[in-house]
Amino acid sequence: MCRAHGVGFDIRDKQGTVFTLLEGDKHENIGMVTIGDTLQGTLSNFAYNLNAINQEITTTSMRGRNNFMVNIHFFL
């Protein structure tokens, strides 16, 4: 899903996005780290990635029932 949206990490340029599982009792949390040259570009990529994930995991009947959109607008 991420490759289809162009989400990934370029080892040569040392830029992009990486995901990590966060420790918890149930291992239900995932973290996203975005690395780039500028703060504005990095935050823009972060928001784009959240939007892409939101589109993939929600349906039209679920709109408004998660916190992705709140976080996307926070970074824009």
Considering only residues 54 and 75, tell me which one the structure prediction assigns the higher pLDDT. Answer: 54
For 50, other C-beta atoms within 10 Å of its C-beta total 21
Provide the pLDDT confidence category of residue 68 given band limits of 50, 70 and 90: low
Going by C-beta distance under 8 Å and a sequence separation of 6 or more, which residues neighbour residue 10? Answer: 16
Could you tell me the pTM of the whole model? 0.68
pLDDT of residue 30: 82
Provide the pLDDT confidence category of residue 69 given band limits of 50, 70 and 90: low
Q: What are phi and psi of 62, to 5 degrees?
A: -95, -5
Closest among 38, 39, 53 to 6, alpha carbons compared: 53
3-class SS of residue 10: strand
**For 6-56, how does the pLDDT look when each residue is reduced to its tens digit (9 = 90+)?**
888 989 999 999 988 887 777 677 889 999 999 999 999 998 888 888 788
